[in-house]
A and B are shown apart, each in its own frame.
Chain A
Amino acid sequence: MSGREVLVCSGTACRSAGALDVHAKLAAAVEAAGLADEVVLTGTGCAGPCARGPIVQILPDDVLYVQVSPEDAEEIVREHLVEGHIVSRLLWSEDAASPSEVPFFAHQRKTVLANSGVVDPERIDAYESRGGYAALKRALTDMTPEEIVEAVLAAGLRGRGGAGFPTGRKWRFTLDAPGAIKYVVCNADEGDPGAFMDRALLEGDPHAVIEGMAIAARAIGAQHGFVYVRAEYPLAISHLKTALAQARDRGWLGRDVLGTGFDFDVELRIGAGAFVCGEETALLASIEGRRGAPRPRPPFPARSGLYGRPTLINNVETLANVPVVLRDGPEAYASVGTASSKGTKVFALAGQIRNTGLVEVPIGTTLRELVFDIGGGVPDGRRLKAIQIGGPSGGCLPADLLDVPIDYESLTEHGAIMGSGGVIVLDDTACMVSVARFFLDFTASESCGKCLPCRVGIPTMRDILVRITEGNGAPEDLDRLRELARLVKSSALCGLGQTAPNPVLSTLRYFEDEYRAHIEDRICPSGVCTTLAQAFTIDPEACKACGKCAAVCPSGAAHGTPDETYTIDETLCVRCGACFVACPFDAVIRGARS
């Protein structure tokens, strides 16, 4: 019973569920059992199944425990580590002790995430012992910049941040651009709501990103790099700082790396909260200490970027793929994926889905595999209505498109985009008009205001959606929305504006009947739009007669006495939802009880 490693997921989600406490209790129990010399306890980055955290894995036994509480620590140590019995009540399911037996893991192919959830991200030794920095070493000692760019081109790697531009071509342009001073910038301004893969990568495997940047710098001839990371990710920032210091200490960054004459160092820049800074020219303006307003391209950053110098900008996940390309070789890399989209993609699953979390699959996997086989489908016996993919630039695909393979082209063809890989699952309680309104609220407030189509067009579209959701829509509004969408898409200055109409266009394309119900019948079929909603009712079985609903009700519709359950008089209810918010027992329901 010796030589074991206990991995405790310490990503942001597991931390919030108490993982650090679990870690401390496990450490104490290991110590108390006299196993301190035989058992290594490792805090790791995100293991993936955030909904089931805190996650504990035991190696080499290959046993996965989920929803571990601090009180379980002693039992895990006593039963598993000392006695050698699996604690079955903490397994994912009765018949699944190993992650390979859990569908959530079995359908994945972890390549970029291979270290996340396995290594201690704050120890460079852990990264190096799994082959880390070997690709950089090869790039510096065995390959010319030309050969590196050729390898990335041959691998077919495409940008993982949104548009899917071939990474090797970007590298080629920057390599070919004249100039002695060049920059590499890692775009870690992960702003798409619903996307958290970059956060998880920076938290769980920061050295992979640094190694990717150094290889890129070697390829294009850069001496200096920047990571532009959102301020909203304190743990990622902290792990990145640690990793940068370690990489300098080991000589992977700095002057004359490995005695090859290669000088490269990386500076951290922390964002200040502006979604538009994910756009590359806006991001560069922000690094230079200015307002994050985009500028027209060309010139592209590859020719004139940061401080007017040739600049290569890649996203976190793209850069984390680079060491894999060199390690496995471009042919092996390109053997995964589809004809036009190579490799794997990390997706963040969230919304009304059972297994929320972070997953990685070969590009070309279908939405059905992603949402049902891995994600476990929609909980609470509800029905899948739509899959929102690609964030505010993406679209909502209906349930009958579940067999669409996820690659750049097929998603675009169906009105969504790959984007950064945020997948929000919507069940039949979601109102698609309200979802479209949500995204336009977002893009309207995040527009930098520089160009008119975005500054005026998006709020105009948003106002139409507000009118529709409040029951004041007109039949011609749908055509107006389509026309405005066309104008904004074709004339906005940057990606934010050009893609902002997508959520409206895709919901109009697949859910026009919902728009019509709001406009023609003055009904919100999902009961989300409060002004169109039915009266609230109270579930007598959940009601504890506390009286809070009656206390907040402005119209006297909620009434009752402490001895019985409360009810809401439909004729008096003004649909304000105050009782819905006030009820501590979730007894107040929108609409009639089903």
Chain B
Amino acid sequence: MPARDTEDRVEDHAGRPDQLIRTLQQVQEESGYVSEESEQRVADALGISIGRVHGVVTFYHLFRTRPPGRHTIRLCLGTACHVLGADRILATLEDELRISVGQTTEDGLFSLEIVRCLGTCSLAPVMMVNEDVHGRLTPEKVRRVLRIYARRKGPSE
């Protein structure tokens, strides 16, 4: 029962505003995103204003305020990826998934995000799907990878 767990974990940090980022990370691990209700719950538990919580949620790129798809694609747009054609990979992803960056496909299968550097520049252009790194991407390889994940049920299966 994830909802219960989340509440427990939020309560662990009661009165510890320094643990705000960690708490929000745990909320997102459990629920996939940080809802307005979670922001309020975190604010109450840590004893800070919801304004401060929302300020942190919107400052850091990794926090989502909407539920993600089953698989999260993070395309790297770092320097090495840029010079080796990440724009072409992004166009392929947007074209295949029919969504823009920051959106989720209608069937809820894929969310598309961009990141600034995954630190795996030797594999550029590169993307992560959930926790897996896929490198040396070509439009064709992107389509192949998408087909593989489309067949899977959850991120870890």
Interface residues of A (CB under 8 A from B): 12-13, 15-17, 50-51, 190-196, 199, 230-234, 269-275, 286-292, 348-352, 356-357, 388, 391, 422, 424, 426, 430, 435, 438-439, 442, 446, 448, 552, 577-578, 580-584, 586
Q: Is B12 in the interface zone, CB < 8 Å from A?
A: no
Which residue, A234, A430, A438, has most C-beta atoms of chain B within 10 A?
Answer: A438
Q: How far is the CA of A12 from the CA of B84 in the complex (A)?
A: 19
Contact call B21/A289, Cβ cutoff below 8 A:
yes
When distances are taken between beta carbons in the complex, the residues of chain B under 8 Å from A275 are 116
Closest 9 interchain pairs by CB?
Answer: A193-B78, A50-B122, A350-B121, A272-B60, A273-B61, A193-B117, A289-B20, A356-B122, A273-B62
Contact bitstring B29-60, A, C-beta under 8 A = 1, else 0:
00000000000000000000000100110011
Which residue, B84, B119, B131, has most C-beta atoms of chain A within 10 A?
Answer: B119
Contact call B120/A196, Cβ cutoff below 8 A:
yes
Contact of A435 (CB < 8 Å), options: B83, B95, B140: B83
Q: How far is the CA of A582 from the CA of B80 in the complex (A)?
A: 22
Contact call A424/B80, Cβ cutoff below 8 A:
yes
Closest to B80 in A: A350
Q: How far is the CA of A292 from the CA of B20 in the complex (A)?
A: 13
Give 13 A-B contacts (CB < 8 Å), ordered by A residue: A15-B133, A194-B121, A199-B119, A232-B117, A269-B21, A270-B25, A272-B60, A274-B60, A351-B79, A351-B80, A426-B83, A439-B79, A584-B143
Contact of B18 (CB < 8 Å), options: A194, A234, A289, A422: A289
Contact of B59 (CB < 8 Å), options: A234, A291, A357: A291
When distances are taken between beta carbons in the complex, the residues of chain A under 8 Å from B20 are 289-290
Contact of A581 (CB < 8 Å), options: B22, B119, B131, B139: B139
Q: How far is the CA of A357 from the CA of B24 in the complex (A)?
A: 35
Contact call A13/B122, Cβ cutoff below 8 A:
yes
Contact call B62/A580, Cβ cutoff below 8 A:
no
Closest Cβ of chain A to B20, distance in Å, is 4
When distances are taken between beta carbons in the complex, the residues of chain B under 8 Å from A552 are 95
Q: Is B152 in the interface zone, CB < 8 Å from A?
A: no
Contact call B83/A430, Cβ cutoff below 8 A:
yes
Given the contacts A286-B21, A291-B59, A191 and B120 also touching, CB distance less than 8 Å = no
Q: Is B67 in the interface zone, CB < 8 Å from A?
A: no
Contact call A269/B22, Cβ cutoff below 8 A:
yes
Q: Is B115 in the interface zone, CB < 8 Å from A?
A: yes
Closest to B119 in A: A196
Closest Cβ of chain A to B112, distance in Å, is 15
Q: Is B10 in the interface zone, CB < 8 Å from A?
A: no
Q: Is B100 in the interface zone, CB < 8 Å from A?
A: no
Q: How far is the CA of A586 from the CA of B20 in the complex (A)?
A: 48
Q: Knowing that A17-B135, A273-B61, A356-B121 are A-B contacts, what are 9 other residue pairs whose CB atoms are under 8 Å apart, sorted by A's residue number?
A: A16-B132, A232-B117, A232-B119, A234-B131, A273-B60, A274-B61, A290-B56, A350-B124, A582-B95
Q: Is B88 in the interface zone, CB < 8 Å from A?
A: yes
Contact call B115/A13, Cβ cutoff below 8 A:
no
Closest to A426 in B: B83
Q: How far is the CA of A192 from the CA of B138 in the complex (A)?
A: 24
Given the contacts A232-B118, A272-B63, A424-B83, A580 and B78 also touching, CB distance less than 8 Å = no
Closest to B142 in A: A581
When distances are taken between beta carbons in the complex, the residues of chain A under 8 Å from B80 are 193-194, 350-351, 356, 424
Which residue, B18, B79, B124, has most C-beta atoms of chain A within 10 A?
Answer: B79
Closest Cβ of chain B to A179, distance in Å, is 19
Contact call A231/B62, Cβ cutoff below 8 A:
yes
Q: Is B9 in the interface zone, CB < 8 Å from A?
A: no
Given the contacts A272-B62, A438-B82, A16 and B133 also touching, CB distance less than 8 Å = yes
Contact call B123/A292, Cβ cutoff below 8 A:
no
Q: How far is the CA of A351 from the CA of B91 in the complex (A)?
A: 20
When distances are taken between beta carbons in the complex, the residues of chain B under 8 Å from A586 are 138
When distances are taken between beta carbons in the complex, the residues of chain B under 8 Å from A348 are 121-122
